[in-house]
Amino acid sequence: MFKRAWQELRIIARDPILLALIVLIMAALVVFVVWPLARVLLTAFQAPDGSFSLSNFELLGQRRLYRNALRNSLVVGGLVGLVGVVIGYVAAFVLTRTNVPFKRVLHTLVMLPIISPPFAGAISILFLFGFNGLVTRQLFGLTNFSIYGMHGVVLSQVFTFAPIAYLNLRGVLAGLNPTLEDAALNVGASRWQVFWRVIFPLSLPGVASAFLVVLIESMADFGNPLVLGGAAFPMLATQAYLEITGSFNLARGAMLAGVLLLPSITAFAIQRYYLAKRQYVTVTGKPTASTSKIVSPAAKWSLYGVVVAFAVVVIAFYAVILLGAVTRVWGFDYTLDLRHFRYVFAVGWETVKDTLIVAVLTTPVSGLLGMLIAFLVVRRRFPGRAPMEFMSILNFAVPGTVAGIGYILAFNGPPLILTGTLAILVLNFVFRYVPVGIQSGIAVLRQIDPAIEEAAQNLGANAITTFRRITLPLIAPAFFSGLVFAFVRAMTAISAAIFLVSANWNLMTVQILNEVGSGRLGVAAAYSMVLLAIVLVAFGVINLIVGRGAEDATSVRF
Amino acid sequence: MPADLRLEKLRKEFASPEGVTVVAVDDVSLEAEKGALVTLLGPSGCGKTTLLRMIAGFEEPTSGKIWFGDRRVDELAPNVRDTAMVFQSYAIFPHLNVYENVAFGLRMHGVSKSELAERVGQVLELVGLTKMAKRAPSQLSGGQQQRVALARCIVMQPKLLLFDEPLSNLDAKLREQMRVEIRDLQQRLGITSVYVTHDQIEAMAMSDVVVVMNAGRVEQVGSPREIYARPVSRFVADFIGDANFLPGVLLDARTVRIAGATLTLADPCQERPGSNVVVVARPEAMNLARAAEHDERAAGTLFGAVKRTMFLGTIARYMVEVGGLPDLQVDVASPAETGLLAPGTHVSLAPGALHALADA
């Protein structure tokens, strides 16, 4: 055991730059991933005098508020997971396995919520169903209807997270060998039987996996509950935030974060270490016709109807936000007016600039780091390789709220004071969003013959040159998805960021929430539109720079 | 002057997933003279590729030493070893064109621009790819890709050229052609080479020295002719070419008694007279002739009957049943001229080039 580690170390040491790099990455992962998390747990288990205690957790039994927050988060998560997976499955099935018109357009529309701020849906819902909502007030004249509470949160979260389920299930369904259907039909199964006895069981691990991913996202979600939860419907992520910024009670905030962490980590562990190994993807390399024969025209078109309906909702929601952004006062004065945009570019310009700086710094660092870690993990043997992989993807499972609290706990005092700086935002984003790059990097690298990199070494390239000149160009598609993901998330992040912004460095998402909070929905909508425009432009720019990965843009895993 | 490549008790152990230690290469010692092409030949899993990868530096020996001339290299990283390897999958950089693939190694070594252009140009000329210089690897045929891989290596003028089953992805015709090309080039440039293959014909056709490996060990080292004519073990005899194994008793160093007949060995056997031996009889040296049913038993002749006949174009292959022996394979050249023997025909065999092995 030790002998092997020593041996590996000796070999790595022949390439000193490589060794230095590994040490550096390890240290960074410990400081910026593990340490903040440890601080959250340490603080949660600490009595006010600093001794170890369970007193914070006892509050969970004593205080109804906390109990309700936990229950609400779990119920909403389960509900959103269920509905999201159903919508996602239908969309994935229709768009991968049937021949229907406008597949590409529908795909893009279904994906759109993924690249917008995670609470764009909530803003739209306020426009439509709020106190001055277009539907509730103007259309039906309701005055006693409240969108705040569970129904509002579930509605906006389904809108936000069903696309994630879709994306996960799309890969699963596209990967099932269509000849399986033929084989089942051939031995006399009815179409209904083929679906329930063959297709569905084969996709079941993917379904469970998608459910857990949505559950994690829902529990970690911050923006939607903050906008639509309301005081009567507490949830864990928002409650933790209120404890810390509202009552400056770090220990209780940390405790709630710890409670939030547990189901997330569990779901993540099941998803990654149990379900991932049970996915039946049957890639043969043989071109196969993938049109399913098991749906009758009636079934096909009704499922298609569901997908179109979702796409219409997406269009409607964004149209409403756009309208809200160019309307003088929603609910009272529907005059067309650009004042909200003027406000964003005049008063809010600093925030836009800050957001861009943070995103532009985060993107290349996160993208490169992801590829580098993927390269090291797949291609090199060194002691600590498994821990490196684990640490680097751990953040997949850590809700943003927890990460944010961890960062203020860890970097508020010596030895490393970062609170209020640009660095704390960039570092947090880099390490939070690097896992996606790593995952796709690992997946792509595993398909590339290691001999290609060995050839480079054999011809005299050291490890870093090999990575730069050979590996990186070969994994450009993964690099591209890593970059896009990092940029989109850096632009739309809220749950961790809200703890880390300061007077000097503010972010658009935080500003949008502030505007919503102070009732200026129009300004919030204008901000959202600007943000969406920046993301779309960035898509194009990154595609232009990295090139080649174009067709892969759609397979980015969020 | 020391040999260009010297392996000293090189050993490689792997831990299997079950925790058992597997010895992939078992204390192999070997030398390659300057300019020689040495083949590592053996069935899959015999350790030949592991051995090659240790020479290149991609695998770490568990113990033992590797010398290039008087320089010990087993502690060096692969990129500073001065070897060049042709990979089984060619491992051409898919994002670089032919020229850049060939130039890659020179760039890594900081060769000046003018020298680089000159050397790459020469080598492309040598392998006949000058016109393809700007092509992407995906636009090349298998044989052309093979030449790129080769060019990329020889442009480095390495101390040692390594080949890892380079022809196994080519079809039979192209394989024979490339075999000649590689051997030609290697001899012209005089680069010491180690060549891994599981194809015994390839090994025979190309090598100065063949190293037959089995289960991590070297079974025999020798020229192709030596290995064919005087295999040291049943494994070698069986792996190199076809062989009949006849149980017999050694009478003296040169004669052996098999199924009642007394036969002469091609080379003396060191075993004690009277001991049991296994005699290797090659199918093409059986000297088959038509015989009457009750022919007189001449010394040095076996009698039997044809059991099965196969026409293979260049040869006719017979399975001959001889009393007291397993069925023998007998190959007769030019069957189109001499005619085929029908099953049931009585024949005599006067096997030559016999080689005796101790009975294991």
Cis status, amide bond into A101, omega within 30 of 0: no
Query: pLDDT (tens digit, 9 = 90+) per residue, B26-68?
Result: 999 999 999 999 999 999 989 999 999 999 999 989 999 999 9
**pTM for the whole thing?**
0.80
DSSP A296: -
DSSP A290: -
**Mean pLDDT of the B108-119 span:** 94
Query: Tokens standing for A80?
Result: 């959103």
Q: Is A13 on the interface with B (CB under 8 A)?
A: no
**Mean pLDDT of the B275-280 span:** 94
Instruction: State the pLDDT at residue B219.
Output: 95
CB–CB of A454 and B76 under 8 A? Answer: no
Sort out which chain A residues have CB atoms less than 8 A from B52's CB and list them: none
CB–CB of A459 and B76 under 8 A? Answer: no
ipTM: 0.83
Q: How many CB atoms lie within 10 A of CB B64?
A: 17
B298 versus A400: the higher-pLDDT residue is A400
DSSP A553: G
For residue A453, the chain B residue with the least C-alpha distance is B91
Q: How many CB atoms lie within 10 A of CB A295?
A: 21
A272 versus B261: the higher-pLDDT residue is B261
Q: Characterize A421-453 residue by residue with b for buried, 16 or more Cβ atoms within 10 angstroms of its Cβ, and e for exposed.
A: eeebbbbbbbbbbbbbbbbbbbbbbeebeebbb
Query: pLDDT (tens digit, 9 = 90+) per residue, B166-180?
Result: 998 888 888 899 999
CB–CB of A459 and B156 under 8 A? Answer: yes
For residue A3, the chain B residue with the least C-alpha distance is B62
CB–CB of A461 and B75 under 8 A? Answer: no
Rounded to whole angstroms, how far apart are CA atoms A529 and A524?
A: 9
Instruction: State the pLDDT at residue B297.
Output: 65
Interface residues on B facing A, Cβ-Cβ cutoff 8 A: 15, 56-58, 60, 75-80, 83-85, 87-89, 91-95, 104-105, 108-109, 152, 156
Q: Could you give the 3-state DSSP secondary structure of residue A291?
A: coil
Instruction: State the pLDDT at residue A6.
Output: 82
Instruction: State the pLDDT at residue A155.
Output: 92
Counting beta carbons within 10 angstroms of the beta carbon of residue A140, is it exposed (0 to 12), middle (13 to 18) or buried (19 or more)?
exposed
Instruction: State the pLDDT at residue A115.
Output: 80
Q: How many CB atoms lie within 10 A of CB B11?
A: 16
Indicate which of A15, A458, A469 best probes the interface with B, i.e. most B CBs within 10 Å of its own CB.
Answer: A458
CB–CB of A454 and B88 under 8 A? Answer: no
Check whether B70 has a pLDDT greater than 60.
yes
Check whether B25 has a pLDDT greater than 60.
yes
Counting beta carbons within 10 angstroms of the beta carbon of residue B158, is it exposed (0 to 12), middle (13 to 18) or buried (19 or more)?
buried
Rounded to whole angstroms, how far apart are CA atoms A6 and A284?
A: 40
CA atoms within 13 A on the CB side of A473: 11
Residues 445-464 of A with CB under 8 A from B: 449, 451-452, 454-462
Taking all residues of chain B, what is their mean pLDDT, rounded to a whole number?
91
Query: Tokens standing for A370?
Result: 């992801």
Q: What is the mean pLDDT of each run of 10 residues along chain A (558 residues)?
A: 77 84 94 92 82 80 86 94 95 88 89 82 88 76 80 92 90 78 79 83 86 89 87 88 85 87 84 68 46 77 92 92 87 82 87 92 92 90 88 85 91 84 92 88 85 92 90 85 86 88 89 88 91 88 65 38
Token pair 């595993």 in the structure block, residue: A446
Q: Could you give the 3-state DSSP secondary structure of residue A118?
A: coil
Check whether B260 has a pLDDT greater than 90.
no
Instruction: State the pLDDT at residue A556.
Output: 38
Mark out the alpha helices in A294-447 (DSSP H runs).
297-325, 339-346, 349-379, 385-394, 400-410, 422-446
For residue B102, the chain A residue with the least C-alpha distance is A459
